[in-house]
Amino acid sequence: MIASPILAMHPTDWLSLFLHYLYLSVLSVGGAITTAPEMHRYLVVQQHWLSDAQFSSSIAIAQAAPGPNILFVALLGWNIGLNSGSVAAALFGLCITMTGILIPSSTMCYLAARWGHQNSHLRAVRAFKQGMGPIVISLLGATGWILVSAHGNAARDWPLWLLTAATALIIWRGKVHLLWLLAAGAILGWFGVV
């Protein structure tokens, strides 16, 4: 059984959740996945609205489904709603997190698109784009790390870490479709190998 925290979400809690996602949206340079460490800090560590297992399974399910990875944000909202007791709350939570993460970034992108086209050779634009490179890449590493360290028992969990490392190497260097690896991970886990 997943030890889900059972919640009483008050309207002010939903509002804080919405505001936090509006704010994460503005910060999500390089994609919403780069804000996953911050979501984990806020939702799991600080507010206790989600368990560690719910957080990492939300990301895994969104990766397994087709479509943009941003949908893990929908699942996080959905799970917060479920923890507070009903499917209606889950749908509400989904709307809160998805509109929160999408409205600011989409509006900014829409407004900036034409301006960016006309000024893509400006030094400041290039400095921003290239300067954020190492930060954005490092945040991807941090996200992977937080997913792995949800399984923190080295004696028991080392096969999982090995699977993560092998996946990273195969996708980085090889041409295997990532669906095969997700399927392989599911099979290994099903039979208790990892």
Partner 1 sequence: MQPSSQTPSDRQQPRSLADLFIAFSVLALQGFGGVAVVAQHELVERKRWMTNGEFVEEWAVAQIMPGPNIVNMSLMIGARSFGVPGALAALAGMLSIPLVLVLLLALFYSRYASHPDVTGAMRGMGAVAAGLIFAMGLKLSSAMKTNPLGIPLCIALGTACFIGTVLLRWPLVYVLLGLGAVSCLLTYRRLKP
To partner 1, the closest distance from the beta carbon of 43 in angstroms equals 13
Out of 16, 18, 99, 188, name the contact with partner 1 by CB under 8 A.
188
Q: What is the dihedral of CA 37, 40, 43, 44, to 10 degrees?
A: -150
Kindly state whether residue 156 participates in binding partner 1, applying the rule CB under 8 A.
Answer: no
To partner 1, the closest distance from the beta carbon of 13 in angstroms equals 19
Q: What is the dihedral of CA 153, 155, 161, 166, to 10 degrees?
A: 180
The single residue listed with the structure tokens 């086209």 is 117
Out of 19, 85, 108, 158, name the contact with partner 1 by CB under 8 A.
108
Out of 68, 85, 86, 158, name the contact with partner 1 by CB under 8 A.
68
**37 and 142 in contact (C-beta within 8 Å)?**
yes
Nearer to partner 1, 11 or 66 (CB): 66
State how far the Cα of 168 lies from the Cα of 170, in Å rounded to an integer: 6
Nearer to partner 1, 15 or 179 (CB): 179
